[in-house]
Amino acid sequence: MRFALAVVVAGVTQMFLYFIPGVVVLTAILYVVLASLGAGFLSRRRGWLAGALSVVLGVALYGIATFTSTSAAGQTLFDRVQGETALIVAIAPYAVIGAVAGALGEGLRARALARR
């Protein structure tokens, strides 16, 4: 339950970043890294997976919100599926960064608890 909650919270947090127009790429990467680090920290185990899944979930939620909005009214179902697939494929490098950050978050948690 803790794992799923960590992934969902980090994913929803990342989704809002994509709605901000003109976000600089380095700012977006930093935001993704911090959210993935938090997901790895809070998940307790498999931090790398929590970090990667949070990135994928954030993009998927953004895609759903975008393709169900009124601005997508003229699109066919194929257009919507193609757009969502393109988002997931384009985000793959960020998912790898999220996995690394999630693993670091898990390591930070282990170190913090070991010092107690």
State how far the Cα of 44 lies from the Cα of 87, in Å rounded to an integer. 29
**Of residues 21, 30, 48, the one with CA closest to residue 106:** 48
What does the DSSP assignment read for 44-94?
Answer: SS-HHHHHHHHHHHHHHHHHHHHHTSGGGTT--HHHHHHHHHHHHHHTHHH
What per-residue confidence (pLDDT) applies to 47? 92
Confidence category of residue 96, pLDDT binned at 50, 70, 90: very high
94 CB neighbour count, 10 Å cutoff: 20
- Element holding 38 (H helix, E strand): helix 25-43
CB burial class (10 A; 0-12, 13-18, 19+) of residue 41? buried
pLDDT at 44 over 80: yes
What per-residue confidence (pLDDT) applies to 114? 85
Count Cα neighbours of 17 within 13 Å in the Cβ-side half-sphere.
Answer: 23
